[in-house]
Copies of this chain bind each other. A is one copy, B any other.
């Protein structure tokens, strides 16, 4: 019998039924509500079904191409059911866990020009997640990120920060990994752990090795007369390494032919390079990938020149 998706409720043997590659019948806006995993921390309280379901999707994040359905209630009395790959699950059940997990529309604290904010905007666009933007102007009033109100929300005094599912997350890559774990379609990390490592390596190279050295607060410290040289040095040094890495990892995009978290870091960093007048001639791979990325809808709509807080003179 086909039951509604249920998280584990005990330690008894559970029957899972799996189908082969199946994401083709999941449109992007259906964030794999059927991909539920066991939530062992709630074993003690099977009645907390919304928590269980909320915690669930992440646990099988990395298997989103298989449809794992937990037939419930399960146990010694249940029997496995089978379904042909590609058939649809009952619609009324599909959206439920997703809706329970999400409390209201996510709010992104963002600044149009912040490259880290742009990374998250691309992820939200790719995953088709509807959200509200609250603009935090990093230069106006001495920097709105230093306001008491914003500091209490994000002690790091940085954008982006994302209010989602009842929590606030800072740090762009932590946000993207959370989105990936809770809204896995389309995936931003490949299935193969070695490829995932490549994606994270490229992402971290940019997010730890380049961007922090040329962001606003550091440039303030080095003094106006040194800013351009400093930023150029940080970017070219990082791009020298990145170009070499991408020459072996890239297909159409940074790692293979699928857009990944690495690409979400690349395009905004190239935009920064442009802003700081870095000569991109020595970086043909970076330039080529960037061009492909900018042609994608998700990169287009999330671009700094198309944000609610983009000043009129910078609008595209």
A60 to B63, CA, bound (A): 7
Is A59 at the interface (CB under 8 A from chain B)?
yes
- Bound Cα distance from A222 to B192, whole angstroms: 41
Chain B residues contacting A158 (CB-CB under 8 Å) are: 209
Name the one of B20, B175, B217, B233 contacting A12, with C-beta atoms under 8 angstroms: B20
Contact of A201 among B57, B62, B169 (CB under 8 A): B169
**A240 touches B (CB below 8 Å):** yes
Whether a CB of chain B sits under 8 angstroms from the CB of A174 is yes
Which of chain B's residues have a CB closer than 8 A to the CB of A80? 13, 15, 80
Interface residue A123 (Cβ < 8 Å from any Cβ of B):
no
A280 within 8 A of B: no
In the complex, are the beta carbons of A63 and B43 less than 8 A apart?
no
Asked whether any CB of chain B lies closer than 8 Å to the CB of A306, the reply is no
Would you list which residues of chain A between 241 and 264 have a CB under 8 Å from chain B? 241-242, 244-245
| A20: contacting residue among B43, B66, B218, CB under 8 A | B43
Whether A200 lies near B174 (C-beta < 8 A) is yes
Instruction: Output the least CB separation between A143 and chain B (Å).
Output: 13
Interface mask (A168-195 → B, CB under 8 Å = 1, otherwise 0): 0111111101100110000000011110
The answer to whether B196 touches A181 (Cβ under 8 A) is yes
Q: How many residues of A contact B (CB 8 A)?
A: 82
* CB interface residues, A 203-240, toward B, < 8 Å: 203-205, 207-209, 211-213, 217-218, 221-222, 230, 233, 237, 240
A13 touches B245 (CB 8 A): no
Q: Which residue of B lies closest to A55 (CB)?
A: B192
Contact of A197 among B177, B200, B240 (CB under 8 A): B177
If the complex has contacts A155-B244, A169-B197, are A38 and B11 also in contact, measured as CB distance less than 8 A? no
Please state if A20 and B8 are interface contacts (CB–CB under 8 Å).
Answer: yes
Contact indicator A38/B66 (Cβ below 8 Å)? yes
Q: Does A157 belong to the interface (CB within 8 Å)?
A: yes
A28 close to B (CB within 8 Å): no
Question: 13 new A-B pairs (CB below 8 Å) besides A16-B16, A58-B193, A156-B245?
Answer: A12-B20, A13-B19, A13-B82, A16-B18, A18-B38, A38-B63, A55-B194, A76-B82, A169-B201, A171-B201, A175-B197, A221-B233, A222-B222
Q: What are 27 A-B pairs with beta-carbon distances under 8 A?
A: A8-B18, A11-B19, A11-B20, A13-B80, A20-B43, A37-B63, A38-B66, A40-B65, A40-B191, A41-B191, A55-B193, A58-B62, A58-B192, A60-B60, A60-B62, A62-B181, A76-B82, A155-B241, A156-B205, A156-B241, A167-B197, A169-B201, A171-B201, A171-B205, A174-B197, A174-B201, A213-B213
